[in-house]
Homo-oligomer: A and B are copies of this chain.
Amino acid sequence: MASIKHVAITGGTHGNELTGVHLLKHWRQKPQEVARSSFVTEMHLANPKANAQNRRYIDQDLNRQFKLADLNNHELCGYEQNRAKSLNALLGPKEDPRVDFVIDLHTTTANMGMSLIFNTDDPLVVGMAFYVQQKMPHATLFFDPADRLEDNFLTSLGRHNGFLIEVGPIPQGLLRADVYNETKTAVLHCLDYLEAYNLGTVPDLPERREGYRFIRKVQLPENELGEITAMLHPALQDQDYQPIAPGDPFFMTLDGETLPYDGDGVVYGAFINEAAYYDAHVGLSLMEKIQIERKPG
């Protein structure tokens, strides 16, 4: 496999997630921290306009605009739909990208700790997740496989479908030093891994690790006017990656009534009470626990 020559670190893909934005500012002052001998590291503020307005997006969620078909559809011309085309010109083009790897920095209001989100079984990418987790054992692997050309994430612009670092809990629109430092540490491990990959010095990594695969999103209950009538149950709040069994407390109505989880088997929650999903009244994602295999590279 060809070596890695160009790595992009992106932040502010969601304009009110300030951690990545300020890490980019920091690294522009201290580029030696992200420089490695065997590749070029470049940095891009993905959605400057949304960041300037301290909003997630202006017209559309930028991190849903990178399907190949959408990038090539010039009738999609909202602010972020255009910005995605611009980033595709800068980093891609998606079919044959200039950039080998994109590391995209995100935060969440959910109690997801250090979550490493990757959408491919590409051994280079799975190896990065295992490597970072070896260095940061509290990190959780969040696997949501998609064909790279069909994938709508910014990270899919890289030749290897890249890597999204998602840290929480943190409200939108502010910095927390703990979240900032965690994110910084994870990025530096990612770069060290790619350097070791190029130099043939990647340490022994496990063949498989436990992780979580996305099943579906769950909406909050609504009335006939489309208004929210319940919240996530307090017993579920902040319990990301913990099991949810049939009959467990799931929602609490505005009246205080408990509604149980009515699914068939045990699932696991993620993005529990993510503020960014409230406009669609999405309360959480359901995940299954899986073993993630690292195929020989």
Contact = CB atoms under 8 A, between A and B. Distances in A.
A279 B172 contact: no
A234 B25 CA distance: 20
Contact of A172 (B18, B171, B256): B171
Contacts of A255: 26, 29-30
A284 to B, nearest CB: 11
A254 B174 contact: no
B231 A175 contact: yes
A180 interface: yes
A117 to B, nearest CB: 20
A2 interface: no
Contacts of A181: 234, 256
Contacts of A43: none
Contacts of A278: 18, 54, 173-174
A177 B26 contact: no
A233 interface: yes
- A-B pairs, 4 with minimum CB distance: A171-B171, A173-B275, A109-B171, A26-B254
Interface of A: 18, 22-23, 25-26, 29-30, 54, 109, 169-178, 180-181, 227-228, 231-234, 237, 252, 254-256, 273-276, 278-279
11 contacts: A25-B227, A30-B255, A54-B278, A170-B171, A171-B275, A172-B172, A172-B275, A175-B273, A177-B234, A177-B252, A181-B234
